[in-house]
């Protein structure tokens, strides 16, 4: 009698463990709450961000500055296609042109998604964001020649702290879409720079001399698509483009996931 009650107890314990393990695995596989808005995720959702948050991302549509991609508000008729923005007329960027897939504003869910991705280290969001870029890259760059994709680098120390470079992950998806190689570390950040803030002029000063090309043979004579997550004033990508051009690139085009307003 005694041994049968023992085995029933053992069996019960195993069942409880089994159920707990099952729930823990389920939670790992299906996080129940959106990492951005904390709303419920649909059952079977394969993303950690809910459909409403993804759906709230705003595509960047024309009219925008033909050079730097800065959005213009109002009717396209008010801005002829050749009309460049004030910033580009004052200081021409070092790249041929810049385009962004979506908008980035204080209230946009994209801002939160990027925070969760970069600072919350939810690396799984990277390929989703990369696909957002990949889905628009042909529309935005058309037939322009692109030989290789180059991610905007983080300083090694920053990359070690974060565990990854967000631009690397985005560039990989874009490169795959274009069937072009990704040249990781083709340009390197040789000086750590404080996070970009403040006026455009300060941002230009902040990144001056921060980048270098160690192996010019990798980029010599090639048209490059420089990839980053957000373009604000464009000081960072312009400085990268300058260094790449000096090292022998034929042309530098810029593609960012998002364009800050
Ligand atoms: Zn959400
Ligand atoms: Zn512009």
Q: Residues 28-79: pLDDT tens digits?
A: 665 578 989 999 887 767 788 999 999 999 999 888 999 999 998 876 677 7
Please report the pLDDT score of residue 76 as a whole number: 66
pLDDT of residue 99: 97
pLDDT band of residue 237 (cuts 50, 70, 90) is: very high
Q: What is the DSSP-derived secondary structure letter of residue 202?
A: H
User: What are the residue boundaries of the structural domains of the chain, listed by start?
Assistant: 93-260
**Residues, beta carbon < 5 Å, ion ligand 1:** 34, 36-37, 39, 50, 53
Assess contact for 56 and 109: CB atoms under 8 A: yes
Ligand 2 center–CA 67 separation, angstroms: 5
Nearest ligand by distance to the CA of 34: 1
CB-count exposure of residue 85 (10 Å: 0-12, 13-18, 19+): middle
Separation of CA 52 and ligand 1 centre (Å): 6
CA of 29 to the centre of ligand 2 (A): 44
Give per-residue pLDDT as tens, 112-157.
Answer: 999 999 988 899 999 999 999 999 999 999 888 999 999 999 999 9
CA of 34 to the centre of ligand 2 (A): 36
Which CATH topology does 93-260 take? Rossmann fold (3.40.50)
Tell me the residues surrounding ligand 2 (ion) with CB < 5 Å: 65, 67-68, 70, 85, 88
Please write the tens of the pLDDT for every residue from 86-116: 999 999 999 999 999 999 988 889 999 999 9
Return mean pLDDT, the chain. 89
Compute the half-sphere exposure of residue 107: CA atoms within 13 Å on the CB side of its CA: 0
Distance from Cα 147 to the centre of ligand 2, integer Å: 24
pLDDT reported for residue 83: 87
Contacts of residue 208, defined as CB under 8 A and 6 or more positions apart, other chains included, come to: 239
pLDDT in the model for residue 30: 58
Q: What ligand is nearest to the CA atom of residue 79?
A: 2
- Tokens in use for 50? 């809910």
171: which residues sit within 8 A by CB, 6+ positions away?
130, 149, 150, 151, 182, 184, 227
| Helix (H) or strand (E) segment spanning residue 101 | strand 98-104
Q: Which ligand is nearest to the CA of 42?
A: 1
Ligand in closest contact with the CA of 89: 2
| pLDDT (tens digit per residue) in 203-227 | 888 899 999 999 999 999 999 999 9
Percent of the chain at pLDDT exceeding 90 = 63
The per-residue pLDDT for 135 is: 97
pLDDT for position 78: 73
CA distance 45 to 52: 12
Cα–Cα distance measured from residue 170 to residue 130, given in angstroms and rounded to the nearest whole number: 4
The band of 243, judged by pLDDT with boundaries at 50, 70 and 90, is very high
Q: Does the predicted TM-score (pTM) go above 0.75?
A: yes
| Ligand closest to the CA atom of residue 95 | 2
According to DSSP, the residues that pair with 212 across neighbouring strands are 188
């Amino acid at each position: 009698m005694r041994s049968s009650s023992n085995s029933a107890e053992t069996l019960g314990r195993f069942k409880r463990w089994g159920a707990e393990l099952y729930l823990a695995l389920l939670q790992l596989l299906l996080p129940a709450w959106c990492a951005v808005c904390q709303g419920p995720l649909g059952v079977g959702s394969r993303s950690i961000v809910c459909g409403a948050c993804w759906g709230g991302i705003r595509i960047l549509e024309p009219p925008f500055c033909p050079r730097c991609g800065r959005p213009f508000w109002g009717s396209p008729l008010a801005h002829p296609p050749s009309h460049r923005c004030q910033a580009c007329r004052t200081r021409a960027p070092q790249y041929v042109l810049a385009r962004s897939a979506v908008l980035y504003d204080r209230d946009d869910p994209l801002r939160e998604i990027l925070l969760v991705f970069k600072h919350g280290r939810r690396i799984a969001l990277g390929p989703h964001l990369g696909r957002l870029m990949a889905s628009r890259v042909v529309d935005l760059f058309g037939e322009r020649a692109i030989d290789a994709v180059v991610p905007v680098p983080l300083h090694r120390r920053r990359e070690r702290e974060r565990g990854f470079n967000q631009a690397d992950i985005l560039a990989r998806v874009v490169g795959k879409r274009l069937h072009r190689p990704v040249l990781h570390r083709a340009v390197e950040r040789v000086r750590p720079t404080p996070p970009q803030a403040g006026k455009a002029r300060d941002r230009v000063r902040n990144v001056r001399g921060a980048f270098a090309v160690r192996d010019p043979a990798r980029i010599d004579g090639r048209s490059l698509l420089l990839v980053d997550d957000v373009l604000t004033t464009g000081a960072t990508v312009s400085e990268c483009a300058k260094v790449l051009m000096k090292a022998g690139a034929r042309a530098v085009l810029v593609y960012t996931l998002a364009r800050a307003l």
